[in-house]
Structure 1
Amino acid sequence: MNLPNKITFSRILLIPIFIILMAVPFNWGEWDIGNTTLPISHFVGAVLFIIASATDWIDGHYARKHNLVTNLGKFLDPLADKLLVSAALILLVEMGLAPAWIVIIIISREFAITGLRLVAAGEGIVLAAGKMGKLKTATQMIAIACLLLHNFPFSFIAIPFGTIMLYIALFFTVLSGYDYFAKNWHVMRDSK
């Protein structure tokens, strides 16, 4: 396993720690920030989410720069993204910080793309993420990070930036899903 794949795998290993920090009611105290209260455990979980999200860019950049792109990496990287984003979104619904219907659409799109990738893999084709998918992932990660931080630093000026970004992420999620299927429909059409 090369270094980019190890970085990707470390992102997967951070997910249970992130879930525990966000879901277990630790009594570490809280901060009053602007118009909101931020539990310290949520702050630590959000920082961990941001670090895990940053590894998404680091592993891909390193793999391309040093010609270390592998089929394992093409499989693990989107899987790690989907697991991290899905876990965070489900936690946000549980915490009352994200509407369930948006989370259902985002996760449904991820299942649909995974299904398409599985059909392609059965035909010996590896479908890598495109630019639209990367934009979708970036907007999702920004929205999630801001919501996990209870809209900090925008809580001082009472702009629901996290919620606005979540709607933008929803737009790019649907658009990139359509784009992905439109460009790769031949895989479904021509599968045996």
Structure 2
Amino acid sequence: MEETRTSRSAPRPPSGDHPAEPSPFNLANAFTFLRVLLVPVIGWLLATSAADASGATPAARWWAFGIFTFAAATDTIDGEVARRLVGVTRWGQLADPLADKLLIIGALAILAALGELPWWAVGVIVAREAAVTWLRARLVRDRGVVMPASSWGKVKTVTQVAAVTLYLYPGIPDPVREAALVIAVVATVGSGLEYAVRIQRRSRAEVGGEGRGGG
């Protein structure tokens, strides 16, 4: 998701030509937008399943699990479509990680509202994602740079998706779910700190390069 791929970076033209950026209205960005649209659908299905007093696992719960799994998979799909078919857009580079965050945080918040997981975990993840989004926005605004992904970011995304999936899948023992959530929170905090350190190192390198160049 946010960092499951380094970025939707297009191949650099072999010559000095700079082809026009593809239109943002394309199939890859449609998949990105679809992830956001599916969040309230998942919420409605979970609320419906929670209100079912029959005792059996409601079909709505299985639908919520299936739709979340599909939505998470579209992160890989839209990246492949962008790179291989329709081309990369700046809108897609910025919207893709935001859609990932909304999907995961939305699902976690819905589960917390239903009393299935603690709010503190949601708060930690929201704080990390808000901080990284702010740092990323500053990089784009000040330098026009999208920071490439790291292994920490990929681990964070995988653990978050795994935790949500285990909470959505009916019948998973609580200790397993709770352990997955703790791992996701630790990976989330660690990836946020690693992202901040990389930005700081890059800033120092740029300052050092300017100093040497100015001599």
What's the TM-score bracket when you normalise by the shorter of the two chains? Answer: 0.7 to 0.9
Over the matched positions of the two proteins, sequence identity in percent amounts to: 38
What does residue 16 of structure 1 align with? 40
TM-score, normalization by structure 2: 0.73
- CA shift, 1:127, in A, is 2.8
Structural RMSD (CA): 2.4
**Residues 1:88 and 2:112 aligned together:** no
Retained in 1: the 8 A contact 2:26–2:86? no
CA distance in 2, matches of 1:26, 1:97: 14
Q: CA deviation at 1:188?
A: 7.6
Gaps (5+ residues) in structure 2? Answer: 1-24, 207-215
Structure 2: which amino acid aligns with 1:120?
L
Q: Which has the higher strand share?
A: 1
Q: Report if the CA contact (8 A) 1:28-1:39 is conserved.
A: no
Task: Tell me, in whole angstroms, the C-alpha distance in 2 between the residues paired with 1:18 and 1:161.
Answer: 22
Identify the residue that residue 14 of structure 2 maps to in structure 1.
none
Residue 169 of structure 1: which of 184, 190, 199 is its match? Answer: 184
1:43 to 62, 72, 79: 62
Q: Deviations over 1:101-159 (max 9, x none)?
A: 11111111000001101111211222344332122111101110110224x3xx3xx47
Measured against aligned partners, the alpha-carbon deviations of 1:33-78 in whole angstroms (never above 9, x if no partner) come to: xxxxx33322211211111011112212333345823221111111
Q: What residue number does 1:144 align with?
A: 164
* Other-structure match for 1:35: none
Q: Count matched residues.
A: 179
Taking a change above 3 Å as real, the CA distance of residues 8 and 128 of structure 1, as seen in their structure-2 partners, is farther
